[in-house]
Amino acid sequence: MSNTPEAGAGVEWVDLSDRTALVTGSTSGIGRETALALGRLGATVFVHGRDRDAGRQVASAIDDAGGDAIFFRADLSEVETVHRLAAEIRARTDRLDILVNNAAANFSEGRLTDDGVERTFAINHLAPFVLTLDLRDLLPDDGRVVTVSSGVHPRADGSFDVTTVDDYDGLDAYARSKLANILFTVELARRFDGPTANCCHPGLVPASQLWRDASIPIRLAVGLLERLPEPLTRRVIDTPATGAETSVYLAASPDVEGVTGQYFSDCAPKEPAPIATDDRLASELWKMSEDLTGVTWS
């Protein structure tokens, strides 16, 4: 039995040969598996990451499997560099069918970016916000935006004080950014006319590079999970391949054609925390994101 994400998502028969996809953070972990899966389904894949060698390896693997891939190197912590990535994408294509906002970070130490924003929030929320708005006119009517959130989002309380790192807690910052991913999806779906926007929880993936900058206790706990025998963790943790299944499902499955503004887990709709579907909070976060980035919808 195949253990590829597209097989796990039940879309291994889907033909994406006429589609173009951008997967951010696709040089390792869940993003890499998502990019490889979309490439095997025939899509032209724009691979993104900070590591040039790793990016070229993923692009080569897609090419070797009969697909077509191009690597784009960019640090997503600053608005200017996100704009630059969008401009490079626009120079390569006039149509983007699938945008998977997968890149994410989790830091143990609080720090502001040069834009004056807490960097977890900048990378995990503001970068997808800016990139999506920069590229939205490339999305066709049946285009899809998939944003990878997390099941840890209920830990956030809905406050977005992100211009200070006083009393910083890495897990709280991560949860806040993942709540923002869902609220962004809710508001984006409301504003879109044609393309769809959905988000997902990929599961707990210890092998993901996401945890490389987390606090020592979190890194130790994740490392321990990764080393436990598979029968003990089968229902607790995911591999990068199984973690990519829902992203691939949302990007490729005809079952979700026209479905928008939803949160998914294990390739099925799931109710997020009530705060994540608060329309007022979603609207306020959108306005704050515009103010922080200088990027507006119109």
- Annotated catalytic sites, by residue? 174
Measure the CA–CA gap between 171 and 106, rounded to whole angstroms. Answer: 7
**How distant, in Å, are the alpha carbons of 136, 174, 273, 283 from that of 155?**
30, 9, 9, 20
Helix (H, G, I), strand (E, B) or coil at 238: coil
DSSP classification of residue 112: B
Measure the CA–CA gap between 100 and 261, rounded to whole angstroms. Answer: 15
Helix (H, G, I), strand (E, B) or coil at 140: coil
Contact between 202 and 238 under an 8 Å Cβ cutoff? The reply is yes
Nearest residue to 28 (alpha-carbon basis) of 4, 57, 7, 2: 57
Measure the CA–CA gap between 28 and 47, rounded to whole angstroms. Answer: 10
E strands, 133-265, are 144-148, 196-201, 263-265
Q: Exposed, middle or buried by CB within 10 Å (0-12, 13-18, 19+), for 219?
A: middle
Two tokens, residue 8: 């796990």
Measure the CA–CA gap between 8 and 277, rounded to whole angstroms. Answer: 28
